[in-house]
Structure 1
Amino acid sequence: MLEPKSNIETNIHLVSSKNEHTLNNSISNTVISSTTTLTTSTTILKTTTPLSTTITLPTTPESTTISTPISTTTTIPTVPTTLLPPPSTGKWIVQENNTLCIVIQMAVQFNVSYTNDNVTIYKVMDVPSNGIAIGKCGKTEQNLTLSWESQNNTTQNNFTIHFVKNETEKYYSLHHFEISLAAEEFPNDKSNKTVTVIHMTPQFKTGLSNSYKCIKEQQMNLIFKGSNVTVGYLKVTNLQFQAFRSDNTTIFGLAKDCSFDTPDIIPISVGCALAGLVIIVLIAYIFGRRRSQARGYLSM
């Protein structure tokens, strides 16, 4: 017997050729309850509009149709995202034998990954603006190393910048970055070794008496030593440096700005286009002159 306040209404229409109370042999011994309960998944979607589901039971020759409103609910998990503040800009110098050879200012942030139990974990860190600077003032190679304490204050992290001078062409460049992170920065790493990554590419060229300036963000890949696999990246902003100095002032020399740097492909493309245009004009001139000479011969 149907309950009057049931949310599920079932209409069962049975057709029999001889007796309304006798089912066909194909559906004998089958009892269809007038009240049907559908159990949905444990993860439920909440919708304001009920869904109507029609289920047709395959009976021959009779058919049973059940119309059931289903209310479902779903819960979508949200992943919290933490935005790190931009790194602060610091300024450092390297002085040796009473001679200041390197002045640099920049804001640095890097992201290094490591794998533990087949799970990749990322370490994001800023180079603190109060890091201690030491370095070497060589004739053809100079470097600056920034050091700061690890998170357990037991060992130090190091960030080293290498400069190389080209005496023949009278310029120098930032040759590569090198980052050494203490094992304490990776507490889940069972190897307990210092992690060292580098960005190895000569760039940021400028004249020997000039500084190099690049305010916009520069992003560079980081790799392990002896490997070409990228394991992170380095972000540098508000960069200005001058190496191979021979005075004791901390004022930057005339700056070469990276915003005026253009890839070599641009002047090459422009030169090829101009050369092609000259060739086309020359061919057209020769062809036109020959036609005018031919017309002159015909008139004679």
Structure 2
Amino acid sequence: MAFMRFAFVFVCGALAVSAEHWNVTNPDTNLTCLILDANLSFNLKFLNETSNQTQSYTADFNQTNNVYGECDTTHNNQPVNYLKVEFYVTSKDPASLLKVWTVKFWFGKPKDSAAFQLVDYNLVTAGTAEIPFSGTFARPTSAEAEIQAKDKNAFQCSDTTIGLDHESSIQLRNLRTIAFADLNSTNFPKEQQYELCLRDSKTSDVVPIVVGACLAGLVVIVLVAYLVGRARAKRQGYASV
């Protein structure tokens, strides 16, 4: 019973994963068109002009400073939902904790049947004690983001990476997002349906197999224990006679 209670707590804890939460609401209709939940981290490469060598750095999202967005705007001659997040990254230096970084996301409607798709994004960094460089990182023209969904579905992924130029990238963990929606709340509805990224789709296929194998193994163990116990009981019965 104690094991079952532990397993229940573990599963519930695993499902209650926290992430940064941002949304964009249309001021004319008071309906939410865009929601994005994620934990962000950054893998960046800067060219040190002094040594003429490329240096690699990592940074983690720390705290949101400001959020701005639009439900009805255009980008590259197409209608988009737009999200801009100004934030701070983690640092051991108090002064660096006040350096503002900016990440922007544009969600469009592709020509196929997808309801929304991440069509563009960029990152603007500020120098910190750990990263003594600043710069702007854009989406490469060859980058393909799988962040999209059809109909009224949202998109969900436990861990995905979107590429930036200069061989850099943004990692999004615990990602959930929806765009071009008309929601009465700034949170995802309880009945919201999600399309999974390729990584999670493979995992969801493996889980039933693993669970089935575990249950089959448990049945075998119980059966063996029963047969062993029955054999011992018979031997004890013969001994008493």
Deviation at 1:146, TM superposition (A): 1.2
CA distance change for structure 1 residues 168 and 109 in 2, over 3 Å: closer, same or farther?
closer
Deviation at 1:155, TM superposition (A): 5.2
Please report the RMSD computed on the Cα atoms of aligned residues, expressed in angstroms: 2.9
TM-score w.r.t. the length of structure 1 is 0.48
Aligned pair count reads 164
Residue 25 of structure 2 corresponds to which residue in structure 1? 95
Q: Do the aligned partners of 1:171 and 1:207 also contact (CA within 8 Å) in 2?
A: yes
Structure 2 residue identity aligned to 1:169: S
Q: Which runs of 4+ in 1 moved over 3 A?
A: 149-155, 183-189
Residue 256 of structure 1 corresponds to which residue in structure 2? 195
Deviation at 1:89, TM superposition (A): 2.1
CA deviation digits over 1:6-47, x for unaligned, max 9? Answer: xxxxxxxxxxxxxxxxxxxxxxxxxxxxxxxxxxxxxxxxxx
TM-score w.r.t. the length of structure 2 is 0.58
Residue 279 of structure 1 corresponds to which residue in structure 2? none
CA deviation digits over 1:49-108, x for unaligned, max 9? Answer: xxxxxxxxxxxxxxxxxxxxxxxxxxxxxxxxxxxxxxx721111113122111111111
Q: Do the aligned partners of 1:175 and 1:203 also contact (CA within 8 Å) in 2?
A: no
CA distance in 2, matches of 1:149, 1:161: 17
CA deviation digits over 1:189-225, x for unaligned, max 9? Answer: 5xxxx5111234343221241101111x22333205x
Residue 236 of structure 1 corresponds to which residue in structure 2? 172
CA distance change for structure 1 residues 168 and 218 in 2, over 3 Å: closer, same or farther?
closer
- In structure 2, stretches of 5+ residues that fail to align are 1-17, 74-78, 90-94, 203-241
Deviation at 1:127, TM superposition (A): 2.2
1:219 aligns with 2:169: no
Residue 206 of structure 1 corresponds to which residue in structure 2? 149
Residue 63 of structure 1 corresponds to which residue in structure 2? none
CA distance in 2, matches of 1:233, 1:167: 26
Q: Which protein is richer in helix relative to its size?
A: 2
Deviation at 1:137, TM superposition (A): 0.6
1:127 aligns with 2:61: yes
Alignment of 1:99-178 (within 5 A): 99-116=31-48, 117-138=51-72, 140-149=79-88, 151-152=95-96, 156-166=100-110, 169-178=113-122
CA distance in 2, matches of 1:168, 1:208: 11
Q: Do the aligned partners of 2:115 and 2:151 also contact (CA within 8 Å) in 1?
A: yes
CA distance in 1, matches of 2:129, 2:109: 34
Structure 1 residue identity aligned to 2:20: G
Q: Do the aligned partners of 2:72 and 2:81 also contact (CA within 8 Å) in 1?
A: yes
CA distance change for structure 1 residues 145 and 128 in 2, over 3 Å: closer, same or farther?
farther
CA distance in 1, matches of 2:136, 2:63: 21
Among 112, 117, 136, which residue is 1:196 paired with?
136
Structure 2 residue identity aligned to 1:198: A
CA distance in 2, matches of 1:123, 1:167: 37
Residue 38 of structure 1 corresponds to which residue in structure 2? none
CA deviation digits over 1:254-274, x for unaligned, max 9? Answer: 11122337xxxxxxxxxxxxx
CA distance in 2, matches of 1:235, 1:188: 21
Q: Do the aligned partners of 1:156 and 1:181 also contact (CA within 8 Å) in 2?
A: yes
Deviation at 1:243, TM superposition (A): 0.8
CA distance in 1, matches of 2:112, 2:54: 46
CA distance change for structure 1 residues 169 and 219 in 2, over 3 Å: closer, same or farther?
closer
Residue 227 of structure 1 corresponds to which residue in structure 2? none
Considering only CA atoms, is the larger Rg found in Structure 1 or Structure 2?
1
Alignment of 1:76-95 (within 5 A): 89-95=19-25
Structure with larger RCO (C-alpha < 8 A, sep 6+): 2
